[in-house]
Amino acid sequence: MYLDFEDEKILAGEKGETRQRMMELLVALGKVFGAERLVPIRSAQVSGASYKTIGEYGLSWLSTLDAKAVVPAVLNPIGMPRRRWQEMGIDTDFARNQEAVVAAYERLGVLLECTCTPYYLRETSYGDHLAWSESSAVSYANSVIGARTNREGGPGALAAALIGKTPCYGLHLPENRVPQVVIEVKTKEEEWSIATFGALGYHVGKLVGNRIPFFTGICPDHDQLKALGAAMAATGAVALYHVEGITPEARKHRFSEVVLESIPVEAQEIAGIFREIPVEAVALGCPHCSPEELSILAQLLSGKQVTKPLYVFASQGVIDANRSVVASIEKSGARVYADTCMVVSPVMEQYSAIMVNSGKALAYVPDMCGALARIGTTEQCVSVATE
């Protein structure tokens, strides 16, 4: 793999041991995946931030590093809201360990915005090269924005943040971004909600695995695209998808003229995913809520009181920029938490069944929280939480 003069100096250890180790990691990754060079990145998003997932081993590894990020880098959601962990019922020992993880990342110059929706906080543009690691963020960046990132592991994203570059292979190269299978959705899309697109993604992820799907027959908005991509990344390994006439690369290229395998998806296949089971709590914001999602929730909860715990997750930046909307949601007794989510917080493990409006959460809650998961529309979730 070609390295420039500066890269070679880093690899030789002239810029410190941590940078040398990080460059070794990037070079090793590049060799495995056949990269010819490194590419400068605009930002990084680093997973492996919840103590629930990285544990003591991950914390000790972080503590051995000593360098600063050279591009803007944020964290994935952690196991608790940093400002309100006691209110959420987080155990003191867990909080202490989680704070140690956060402090380790802060020492490395990673910004303490812990979110899977970094694109709401920091401008990310078409064609930008990134090193992001949370799968829904990767999917959104590639598909909805038209930026370029592979689905990095936590250490790979951190190495890229500390070096400012990532190996140029996979989805960084235009020839690897073309569709590989057509998903022909046969339904009346005006009836579709965020949850329906989540359920579609839940279903299609299983069908396509790691291929790049090209959707026809749907007309999702940005929040619906976010839900679709997040779910496909959870049940499959989809890091990029296109939607005819909607996503930027599908608008730019004539993908519909390429002859590919076509898989029809009927409305009843999606409807079958919506099963009614009793739940003990409701959790929204997977991926973290947009300002629009918070506004809709505030309207739906207006004048109501929750009778079951209703958790809402969003980034601190989005919460801070929408204080009155958040206050109006919390008037109902619901809680809007930053930094964490229903999958990476240990608090959700106390429930035996959780209702969500997300295909990704539907896929992950059973294994990560040990709870049954039910998907419903945002309206249905509010109705169940306030019934």
The Cα–Cα gap between 278 and 265 comes to: 28
User: Would you say 167 or 229 has its CB closer to ligand F3S?
Assistant: 229
For the bound state, the minimum distance from the C-beta of residue 169 to ligand F3S, rounded and expressed in Å, comes to: 25
Query: 3-state DSSP helix/strand/coil percent for the chain, to nearest 5?
Result: 45, 15, 35
User: Would you say 77 or 146 has its CB closer to ligand F3S?
Assistant: 77
Report the DSSP pairing between strands 310-313 and 281-284: parallel
The verdict on 72 binding ligand F3S (CB under 6 A) reads no
The verdict on 286 binding ligand F3S (CB under 6 A) reads yes
Q: 336: Cβ–Cβ under 8 A, 6 or more apart, which residues?
A: 294, 312, 313, 314, 319, 326, 329, 330
Q: Which of residues 74-93 bind ligand F3S (CB under 6 A)?
A: 76-77
For the bound state, the minimum distance from the C-beta of residue 27 to ligand F3S, rounded and expressed in Å, comes to: 29
User: Would you say 167 or 359 has its CB closer to ligand F3S?
Assistant: 359
User: Would you say 137 or 182 has its CB closer to ligand F3S?
Assistant: 137
State whether residue 37 is helix, strand or coil: strand
The verdict on 288 binding ligand F3S (CB under 6 A) reads yes
Which range touches ligand F3S (CB under 6 A), out of 58-66, 214-222, 260-268, 339-347?
A: 339-347
For the bound state, the minimum distance from the C-beta of residue 3 to ligand F3S, rounded and expressed in Å, comes to: 33
Q: What number of chain residues touch ligand F3S (CB under 6 A)?
A: 16
Beta strands of the chain (E only): which ranges?
38-40, 43-46, 73-75, 111-114, 130-132, 165-167, 181-186, 213-216, 242-243, 262-266, 281-284, 310-313, 335-337, 353-356, 372-375
Structure-token match 């020492």, residue found: 107
Which range touches ligand F3S (CB under 6 A), out of 80-88, 157-165, 252-260, 281-289?
A: 281-289
Please give the DSSP secondary-structure letter assigned to residue 129: B
What six digits make up the tokens of 298? 């505030």
Quick note: the x/- pattern for ligand F3S over 204-243, rule CB under 6 A, is: --------------------------x-------------
User: Would you say 134 or 223 has its CB closer to ligand F3S?
Assistant: 134
Query: How would you label 286-304 residue by residue, b for 16+ Cβ within 10 Å and e otherwise?
Result: bbbbbeebbebbbebbeeb
Q: Which of residues 306-325 bind ligand F3S (CB under 6 A)?
A: 313
For the bound state, the minimum distance from the C-beta of residue 273 to ligand F3S, rounded and expressed in Å, comes to: 17
For the bound state, the minimum distance from the C-beta of residue 344 to ligand F3S, rounded and expressed in Å, comes to: 6
Residue 164's CB is within 10 A of a number of other CB atoms, namely: 17
Q: Binder to ligand F3S among 203, 242, 360, 374 (CB under 6 A)?
A: 360
The verdict on 284 binding ligand F3S (CB under 6 A) reads no
Q: Which of residues 248-267 bind ligand F3S (CB under 6 A)?
A: none
- Helix H, strand E, coil C: the string for 248-262 is HHHHHCCHHHCCCCE
The verdict on 335 binding ligand F3S (CB under 6 A) reads no
Would you tell me which residues interact with ligand F3S (CB under 6 A)? 76-77, 116, 134, 136, 230, 286-288, 313, 341, 343-344, 360-361, 364
